[in-house]
Amino acid sequence: MKIAVTFSTLSGNTALVANDLVDYLNNNGHKAELFDVINTNPDQLKEHELVFFGSSTYGDGDLNPITELFFSTADQQNHNCNNTHFAFFSLGDSSYPHFATSGKISSEKIEPMQGNILEPVLQIDGYPNQATYQKSRQWADSILTQLK
C-alpha cells in the first residue's frame, strides 16, 4: 500500500511527528513518503491509498494558514479523493479553549471531496517528545489495522 505522511507546520512541531511516523512506517515494512503541505498540490496525494494528514491549530481553534491554503487550492480544483483513506493528526496546546481542532476541521474539508475518513483523529498536546511518538506510532498501527 502506498502511504503518504503530510505535515503542515508553522514552528516545526507537526513536522517532528510526521518525520518520526514516516521513519517508523518505513522501518516496519511499509512504503511511506513524506510531504510538506506547503509544497504539495492536492493531486499529488491521489496516488496514495492512505494519507496520514498532520496539521497544527492556530487562531481560535482554526487551521493553520498553510492548511487553509491547501484546502482552498483543492476546492478550486474541484478535488476528488475517493480512492484515498485519510487519518488526521492534529497538533495543539490544551491551554487554548479550542484544543487541537485542526484535525477535525481538516476531516470536515476532506469529506465533501469524497475521501474515506478513518477515525479517531489523534490530538497531540504541546511540544512532541518520546511519549508523543509512542502514542502516534500506536495510533498509526491502529489505523493500518482498519485497512487489513
Ligand X SMILES: Cc1cc2nc3c(=O)[nH]c(=O)nc-3n(C[C@H](O)[C@H](O)[C@H](O)COP(=O)(O)O)c2cc1C
| Residue 10 sits in the site that holds ligand X (CB under 6 A) | yes
Select 76 or 95, whichever has its Cβ closest to ligand X: 95
135 binds ligand X (CB under 6 A): no
Angle formed at CA 22 by CA 144 and CA 146, multiple of 5 degrees = 5
Please tell me the count of residues contacting ligand X according to CB under 6 A.
20
In the complex, least distance from residue 100 CB atom to ligand X, rounded to whole angstroms = 5
Of 6-14, 29-37, 67-75, 78-86, which segment contacts ligand X by CB under 6 A? Answer: 6-14
Sign of CA dihedral 108, 111, 113, 115: positive
Binding mask 34-73 for ligand X (x = CB under 6 A): ----------------------xxxxxx--x---------
The cell 496516488 sits on which residue? Answer: 47
Bridge partners of 122?
89
Bridge partners (DSSP) listed for residue 114: none
What is the contact mask toward ligand X in residues 73 to 112, using x (rule: CB under 6 A)?
------------------xxx--x-xxx------------
Burial of 62 (0-12, 13-18, 19+ CB in 10 A): middle
Q: Which of 6, 13, 67, 84 binds ligand X (CB under 6 A)?
A: 13
Q: Which residue is nearest to ligand X (CB)?
A: 92
In order of 38, 80, 141, 147, the CA distances from 100 in angstroms are 20, 26, 21, 25
**Least Å distance between CB 103 and ligand X?**
10
Rounded Cα–Cα distance for residues 100 and 104 (Å)? 8
Residues at the contact surface with ligand X, assessed by CB under 6 A: 9-14, 56-61, 64, 91-93, 96, 98-100
